[in-house]
Amino acid sequence: MSKGNEKIVEERIYTVPLTKAWSVPKKKRTPRAMRVLKEFIKKHMKPEELLISTEVNEFLWSKGIQGSPRKIRIKAVKDVDNVVTIYLVKGE
């Protein structure tokens, strides 16, 4: 996770569509949703390293392997070392 002494360079909020995850068999939906999320962030933020918080992981897996959400609202934070960390946006 991000340390207190790391400087934030860029912070963005995205709504990531995960509809591509529903075009695969049921037993592969949530792993596919995770790949779609990673591809989206790599395309838009161009990080050297990508970290996904446990709350995002738990949200994607909350309904098991077959019940991946259709979309997810996240906050992507890039620090000085070009490391992007993904957090879940709550309540907006």
pLDDT digits (tens, 9 = 90+) for 13-38: 999 999 999 999 999 999 999 999 99
Cross-strand partners of 49 = 83
Question: Mean pLDDT in the chain?
Answer: 92
- What's the pLDDT tens digit per position in 33-79? 999 999 999 999 999 999 999 999 999 999 999 999 999 999 999 99
Task: For domain 8-88, give its CATH number from 3.10.440.10, 3.30.930.10, 3.40.50.620, 3.90.950.20.
Answer: 3.10.440.10
**Beta strands across the sheet bearing 71-79:** 8-17, 71-79, 83-88, 49-52
Which of 37, 27, 92 minimizes the C-alpha distance to 70?
37
* 59 contacts 52 by C-beta, under 8 angstroms: no
Could you give the count of Cα atoms lying within 13 Å of 14 in the half-sphere of its Cβ?
Answer: 20
Q: How confident is the model at residue 90 (pLDDT cuts 50, 70, 90)?
A: confident
Query: Is pLDDT at 5 greater than 60 in this prediction?
Result: no
